[in-house]
Every structure is written in structure tokens, then in C-alpha cells.
Structure 1
Amino acid sequence: MSQPELAQRQSLGSIAVVWIAAAIAGVFIGIFVGADWRAAWLAVALGGCLMLSFVVQLMIGRADGFILRVAASMVGSLLVLGVISLGFALAEVVPR
């Protein structure tokens, strides 16, 4: 007799949580950190997103697709933080 499948939890929502956290971290870095230290703190935020993606995916409790979900979380976080850092760079170039 086979065991029934458990109800699948949403994996797209768990990926989006990490992207939203990256966006929030990027905005806070832009507000509270000076221009000299922004790049370093964005790297720290990306490391925090890596830890958060592991925690969120382990909370889901599903082994199939784990690496794919973590990779999607990290690529999205990298893109989000990259777009935010591009905005910081453009803001520094524009004269006030």
C-alpha cells in the first residue's frame, strides 16, 4: 500500500519572501549607510539573504527541488540588490 502525498506548500511564495527581504535590506542600506560603505553592506545583505533562503526552504520541509528553490532565491536577491545598487550609483552621478 502506498502512502498518500502530503499537501504541497507554495514554493514561489517562499522564494518571494527572500526577494522582498533583499529589497527591504537594500532600501535600509541606502537610507542609513553612507556612500563609502554601501557596497560592503550590500554584500553583507546578500549573505543574509543566503542564510534566510536556507532557513525558509528548510522550514518548508520538502527535499525535492531544494537546490533549485535556493538558487532561485539567491539569483532573485542578487538581481534585486543589483538594481538597487544601480539606483544608488545613478543617484551619485546626478548633480544636486
Structure 2
Amino acid sequence: MSEPALAPRNAFTGMIIVWSFALLASVAIGIFVAEPWRMPALLVAFGAVVLLAFAVQLGYGRTHGFIVRVSASIMGALLLMGVISVGLGLAAIAAAG
């Protein structure tokens, strides 16, 4: 039986790490990837975000609330990447017109 952690790490920090990665990946894709390849690159980046969310929350080392923490990390990253992709799409429309 494992001993409980006396001062467990804040679970919100893991979510911030995943959200920050999603933000940086989306912005980097918007800057460095050509327009026809942006959406496939965002999908690959979202796959990496899902894997990172699992890795960070598994590294947290607590089973209580694991599903909630992972789903909050992934949903926050999905919303963030969705807003950025809408902005990239509007910028592409504005540049074409």
C-alpha cells in the first residue's frame, strides 16, 4: 500500500502545461506551416496534446479524479486550438479577398 502524499502537486498545473503546449503549437503552425497544410498539422498537434495530457496526468501520480483532469486538459486545449484555427481561417479568407 502506498503512502498518501503529504503535499500533493496542484492538478491545475498539469492542465496549464497542456494548454500552453496547445497554444504554442497552434501559433507555431499558423506561422510556419503553409495554408493548405494547416488543418492536418493542427490535427497532428491535437493528437500530441492528447498524448501529453495523459502523460502529464499519469506523472501526477494520483488516481482520484484522473478522468476529470485528463478530460479538462483535452477539452481546454481543444477549445483553445479551435479558437486559433477559426482565427487562422478568417485570416486566410481576408488574405484571399
**Global fold match (TM > 0.5):** yes
Code of the residue aligned with 1:73 in structure 2: it is S
Note closer, same or farther for the CA distance 1:5–1:13 as it changes in structure 2 (3 Å cut). Answer: closer
Q: Aligned with 2:36: secondary structure?
A: coil
Q: Aligned with 2:35: secondary structure?
A: coil
| Aligned counterpart, 1:49 | 49
The aligned length equals 94
Q: Is residue 79 of structure 1 aligned with residue 93 of structure 2? A: no
For normalisation by structure 2, the TM-score amounts to: 0.90
Residue 6 of structure 1: CA displacement? 2.7
CA distance in 2, matches of 1:73, 1:45: 14
Q: Is residue 10 of structure 1 aligned with residue 7 of structure 2? A: no
- Deviation per CA, 1:37-74: give whole Å up to 9, x if none: 11101000100001101110011100000000000000
Q: Aligned with 1:36: secondary structure?
A: helix
Q: Is residue 69 of structure 1 aligned with residue 66 of structure 2? A: no
CA distance in 1, matches of 2:5, 2:72: 25
Q: Aligned with 1:81: secondary structure?
A: helix
Note closer, same or farther for the CA distance 1:66–1:92 as it changes in structure 2 (3 Å cut). Answer: same
CA distance in 2, matches of 1:68, 1:4: 20
* Structure 1 runs of 4+ with >4 Å offset: none
CA distance in 2, matches of 1:70, 1:4: 21
Which runs of 5 or more residues in structure 1 are unaligned?
none
Which runs of 5 or more residues in structure 2 are unaligned?
none
Q: Aligned with 1:58: secondary structure?
A: helix
Output aligned runs, 1:9-48, within 5 Å: 9-48=9-48
Q: Aligned with 2:27: secondary structure?
A: helix
For normalisation by structure 1, the TM-score amounts to: 0.91
